[in-house]
A and B are shown apart, each in its own frame.
Chain A
C-alpha cells in the first residue's frame, strides 16, 4: 500500500507554493506527523508533515520548484521487507525491527482488543459482576510502553487497566478469574476490574482514584534509586489525571530527585464525558514537563512503533539517571467510559476519524506492507488468541469462589483484625 503526500492548501490566494528544501531523503522511514519539507507561500514559510508512516519512495517535486495545492509531492509506503526500521531523531533509518518482536507486539495488541470485546459481551450478558472501564482503541499505548520495559520494571495503572495488565504480562486467566471474583484471580477476587495487578509481573494493583498512582509510582522510583536497582517504573494515567494536585506534587518531586519514572499520559481526549478542552487551557499535556524542568514529548499514541521508540528512549533516559520523562500519547477510547455508556458526547465525525486511525489496523497494514508478514500469519495469531480467551472464559466461569472466611483475611499483615 502506498500513500500520496499532497501539497496542502496553504496559500490564501491560490498561487503556487515553492518547495524550499526536503528534510528527508528517498529511502528514509518517515513517521506520521514528521516534518518532511519546508515550503514558502506568499505569506509565510512552513513545514509539510507526513500524514502516514512508511518509507519515502519518491520525491516528485524538487527543492526550488513550485507546486499547487493538491499536487502530489511524494509517495510514501510500500516498504520493502527490511524497511520496518527504527528511526533516529534525525529521521534516518537504523536497524530493522526483529520480526518476532513485531509479531509479538501485534499479538499483544490484538489480545487486549479481543479480551476487552469478550469482557464487554460477558458483562452485557449479565454473567460478570461489577463494572468495567475498557480500553479498546488504546492498545498501542499499553503495548508500546510495556515492550520497552524489562520484566523487573514496574508499572502503575488506573481503573482502566486491563490493557496495561495484559501488556505487562498478566495472564488472561488470572484476569478473567479476577473479573469473576474468583479466588484464583490475580488479587484473589478482592480487587476486581479496577485493581488488577500482580507484583511478580511488575504491576501493583490498579489505583482507581484519578492520579492516585502518580505519587505512588514516584515513590517506587525513589525506592529503585535509593537501592540502585536500575529498575524503572512506568506510570499510566489519563488526561483527566493531569488536573489533579497529585500530578503536580508528584512530578515536581520526581523531577527534583531525577527519579527513574516514565509518566505516561494516555490522552484520549475525555475525562469520563468531559472533553479535554473544557478542563484545560493548554491541551498539550507534554508542555507541562518543561515547567518542572524535565523532558516531555507528545507522540501519536495509535502508532505502535512510534510509542515503542519513544518509550525506549525515555526508559533509557530514566535508567541512566536522566529521568523522569513525560510521554503524552494521543489516542482515543472507542468504547464508553464505563459499562453501558453510549458516548453521546463524542461526535460521529470524531468517532469515525479515530476508527479510521485504529492502532491495530494501522500496525497490521504496516506489517503486511513490510512483506515480512502475510495475512495468514495474522489470521493464525487471531485464531490462537480467540481460542486462549474462550478457554479462559470457560474456566473462569467455574473458577472457585472465595469462602466466606476469606472476608476477614488480608486486612493486616501478621495477624487478622479482631
Chain B
C-alpha cells in the first residue's frame, strides 16, 4: 500500500496498462515533452522516458487528435486521449459524439472504439473558458460511457476499467483534486489521496459508491461536490441529521440500483452539482429518481447547483458561484424539516 494523489495514481495506472498491453498509448498536448509538465496537471510526467514510442505529443488540434484517437482505436489500438482543460472538448465534440459514440451502432456492432478520454473540469480561478463543468454535455450521448472520479483509488481503478473496456469512455477529473505538485500545484486544492494497493485492481464503470452511510437523507454528488457533501454531512450530525452520501461516479449510465437502494431507505434526496442548474446532470438524476422511486419519496428532490451564468473570475464571485458546504447543509435542512414536506395524499 502507498498513499497517492489522483495525478500519481493515474500516472501509475497508465504506465501499468501500457506495460500490460502494447495497444495502449497516450495522445494529447504537452503530454510528452522532456522538461515539460506531463500534461496540464502532471498526470503523464516522465512517461515519455519509459514509453518513447507510445506517448504521442500533438499539435494544438483537439478536433484533429481526438479524431486520430478514434481512428487508431477502430484499428485495434487503445488510445488515452486527454485535453488540457475540459472546455476544449467542444472542439473535439464532432469526433467524440458523431464518430466515437456512434460508430458501433451505425456499423451494426461490427466496429468498436475502445477509446479513453480524460478531461479536467471545475472552476479554479481561470475565468469562464477553463472552468466549465462539462459532464452535462456528454451524459446524454448514447454510445458513450461517462465517469467522474473523486479520489485516487477510484482514479486508478476506473482508468484501468476504461482502458480495458471496448467502448469510448470519457473520464472527468477535477483540477482541485489532482494533488498536482511543483509548478502545477493548484491553490485551493482538496486532499483526495487514497491508500493504493500494490496489486492490480479495477473499479467498475457503472457503479455508484456509498461514501457515508446515513438514514435521513441521500446526498448525491460527484467530483469536488462529493467532498463538499461529505463536509456537509459531517456538520449535519450536530443537528442530529444522518445524511447518506453517494458518489454517483458513473454519470452515464447512472447506477439506479445503488441510488434506488438509498432513496428507498431515506425517502429524501439532495443532488449537488458544480455547474449551472439548468440542463445539468442533476436534472437527469432527479427525473430518473421520480420515474423509478416516486412512491418512496417523502419530499421533492432538491438540487444544489451553480447559478445559470458563465464561471466568473474574481475569487469572491467564483466562490459564490460554486455550490458551498453551507448551501448543501441548508438544502438538507429544507428537505428533512417537517414543514418542508409536500402535501401527501393518503393511499
Contacts and interface: CB of A to CB of B under 8 A. Distances in A.
A417 B253 contact: yes
A334 B316 CA distance: 63
A218 B63 contact: no
B32 to A, nearest CB: 13
Contacts of B253: 417-418
Contacts of B99: 207, 209, 212, 216
Interface stretch (A115-123, A248-256, A353-361): A248-256
Nearest to A217: B71
B183 interface: no
A227 B145 CA distance: 27
A12 to B, nearest CB: 49
A215 B65 contact: yes
A235 B112 CA distance: 19
A216 B70 contact: yes
Interface in A210-256: 212, 214-224, 226-227, 245-246, 248-250, 252-253, 256
A245 B93 CA distance: 13
Contacts of B54: 226
Contact of B107 (A191, A245, A409): A191
B199 interface: no
A246 B93 CA distance: 12
A220 B76 CA distance: 9
Interface string B53-92: 1101011010111111111111111010000000000000
Contact of B58 (A187, A198, A245, A253): A253
B266 interface: no
B108 A212 contact: no
Interface in A152-170: 154, 156
Nearest to A186: B108
A413 B104 contact: yes
B117 to A, nearest CB: 13
A226 B77 contact: yes
A409 B111 CA distance: 13
B269 to A, nearest CB: 19
A212 B67 contact: yes
B108 A215 contact: no
B67 A219 contact: yes
B25 interface: yes
Given A187-B106, A216-B71, A250-B67, A226 B111 contact: no
Contact of B108 (A190, A217, A222, A224): A190
Contacts of A388: none
A195 interface: yes
Interface in A110-131: none
Contacts of A185: 108
A219 B108 contact: no
Contact of A410 (B68, B77, B104): B104
A188 interface: yes
Contact of B63 (A199, A207, A246): A246
A153 to B, nearest CB: 12
A413 B112 CA distance: 7
B63 to A, nearest CB: 6
B236 interface: no
A188 B109 CA distance: 9
A219 B143 contact: no
B166 A413 contact: yes
A90 B256 CA distance: 70
Nearest to B60: A249
Nearest to B58: A253
30 contacts: A156-B71, A187-B106, A187-B110, A189-B108, A190-B105, A197-B111, A205-B111, A212-B67, A212-B99, A216-B68, A218-B67, A219-B73, A219-B74, A221-B71, A222-B68, A224-B75, A250-B67, A250-B68, A253-B64, A256-B59, A410-B105, A411-B104, A411-B105, A412-B104, A413-B114, A414-B165, A414-B166, A414-B167, A417-B142, A417-B253
Interface of B: 25, 53-54, 56, 58-59, 61, 63-77, 79, 94-95, 98-99, 103-112, 114, 142-143, 145, 165-167, 253, 256
